[in-house]
């Protein structure tokens, strides 16, 4: 169910003057675009950008597939969902795009992931964020968040997602993060249930720190590369750090898709082409501290940044990363949804 912040933002957009013909409406994760990038586009084009934020993929999908999303022009979306939704004739196929001069700069790996209904944008990892002023020993293993020390009990954050919620426990077992083994998933559920007393929230860390009055109680959380940048901005500090545990993790990518029902498809395509100007893409990536899918942009960034394992894992580190490109059966998804929703309900009833 979409949260209040998302519903309010969307309602404001749909009934307000901000959704006029000179406004591009982008459904996206918070902090997916640097403020300077948006400002440059607006100065370049004379077209305003309105960002409507979501903090769960399920919320995004429900908006896309409902009348609420009728004014959305561009969406930030993962490759698998881009293909599924694109096949339902909701997205403009890439073969129909105009003004694509900067598309030649896409890294072929990421371009292939997003095609044929979306363009590549960012990529990163699943890991752990932690406050170095509250955590005496920096985490290096998934065990550090799955079996937290006493100082962390009641201060752990998680996420509600049928893949990511269960991934740390499965990785520690050296099992596939996509497993549909019911016996194994029941064991993971039992372990996660035992972890619930140590958890503060299942709310996405950025949303929790940005909105919850108990934000200062969050010390460590399951999160994504780049989140530490936004957490530091929200908390007006430099205390948040990010790490990929030594056992390995997941590697994700995000795409941008233009909605076929948009009446500003041409402007939306222009926006995507503009933000893939190598210098713009490089600065945007550096500002939000998330790796770009634009190879020419990456080449413009400093060697120190490109060699930063948090920003862009090297070949050895990437060898321990599992891509989010496996297909899940409907049965597996439903089972995992039941597990995660039950965990959230149990936590809320504590």
Q: In the structure encoding, which two tokens stand for residue 20, read together?
A: 């006029």
CB-based burial of residue 212 (10 Å sphere; 0-12 exposed, 13-18 middle, 19+ buried)? middle
CA distances 63 to 71, 73, 87, 100, Å, are 10, 12, 17, 27
For 20-47, what is each residue's pLDDT tens digit?
Answer: 458 999 999 999 999 999 999 999 999 9
CA distances 2 to 49, 212, 250, 259, 301, Å, are 22, 16, 25, 20, 37
Rounded to whole angstroms, the Cα distance separating 159 from 104 reads: 35
Domains 4-123+253-312 and 124-250+323-348 share a fold: yes
CATH homologous superfamily of 4-123+253-312? Periplasmic binding protein-like II (3.40.190.10)
For 179-190, what is each residue's pLDDT tens digit?
Answer: 999 999 999 999
**In 243-320, alpha helices (H):** 265-275, 278-288, 295-300, 303-306, 315-318
Partners of 223 in the β-ladder: 127
Share of the chain above pLDDT 70, in %: 94
Q: Quick check: 124 pLDDT over 60?
A: yes
Rounded to whole angstroms, the Cα distance separating 45 from 268 reads: 11
CATH fold label, 124-250+323-348:
D-Maltodextrin-Binding Protein; domain 2 (3.40.190)
Give the strand pairing for 23-29 and 48-54.
parallel
CB 221 within 8 A of CB 247: no
Map out the domains of the chain as residue ranges.
4-123+253-312, 124-250+323-348
For 71-120, what is each residue's pLDDT tens digit?
Answer: 999 999 999 999 989 999 999 999 999 999 999 999 999 999 999 999 99
Rounded to whole angstroms, the Cα distance separating 270 from 268 reads: 5
| Residue among 323, 263, 304, 312 nearest 285 (CA) | 312
Report residue 18's pLDDT band, with 50, 70 and 90 as the boundaries.
Answer: very low
Q: In the structure encoding, which two tokens stand for residue 144, read together?
A: 């550090």
> Phi and psi dihedrals of 348, rounded to 5?
-70, -25
């Amino acid at each position: 169910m979409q949260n209040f912040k998302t519903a309010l933002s969307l309602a404001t957009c749909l009934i307000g003057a901000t959704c006029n013909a000179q406004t591009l409406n982008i459904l996206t994760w918070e902090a997916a675009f640097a403020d300077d990038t948006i400002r440059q586009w607006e100065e370049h084009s004379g077209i305003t950008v309105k960002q409507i934020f979501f903090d769960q993929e399920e919320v995004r999908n429900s908006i896309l597939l409902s009348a609420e999303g009728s004014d959305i022009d561009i969406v930030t979306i993962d490759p698998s969902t881009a293909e599924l939704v694109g096949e339902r004739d909701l997205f403009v196929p890439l073969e129909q795009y105009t003004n694509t001069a900067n598309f030649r700069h896409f890294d072929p790996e990421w371009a292939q992931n997003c095609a044929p209904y979306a363009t590549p944008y960012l990529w990163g990892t699943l890991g752990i964020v932690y406050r170095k002023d509250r955590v005496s020993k920096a985490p290096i293993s998934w065990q550090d968040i799955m079996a937290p020390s006493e100082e962390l009990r009641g201060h752990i954050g998680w996420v509600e997602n049928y893949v990511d919620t269960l991934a740390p426990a499965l990785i520690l077992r050296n099992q596939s993060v996509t497993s549909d083994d019911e016996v194994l998933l029941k064991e993971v559920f039992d372990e996660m249930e035992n972890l619930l007393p140590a958890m503060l929230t299942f709310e996405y860390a950025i949303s929790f720190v940005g909105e919850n009055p108990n934000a200062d109680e969050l010390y460590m959380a399951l999160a994504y590369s780049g989140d530490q940048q936004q957490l530091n901005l929200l908390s007006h500090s430099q205390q948040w750090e990010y790490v990929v545990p030594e056992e390995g993790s997941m590697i994700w990518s995000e795409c941008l898709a233009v909605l076929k029902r948009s009446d500003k498809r041409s402007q939306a395509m222009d926006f995507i082409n503009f933000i893939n100007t190598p210098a713009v893409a490089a600065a945007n990536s550096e500002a939000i501290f998330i790796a770009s899918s634009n190879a020419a942009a990456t080449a413009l960034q400093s060697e120190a940044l490109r060699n930063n394992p948090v920003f862009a894992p090297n070949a050895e580190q990437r060898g321990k990363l599992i891509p989010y490109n496996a297909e899940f059966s409907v049965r597996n998804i439903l089972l995992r949804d039941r597990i995660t929703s039950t965990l959230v309900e149990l936590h809320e009833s504590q």
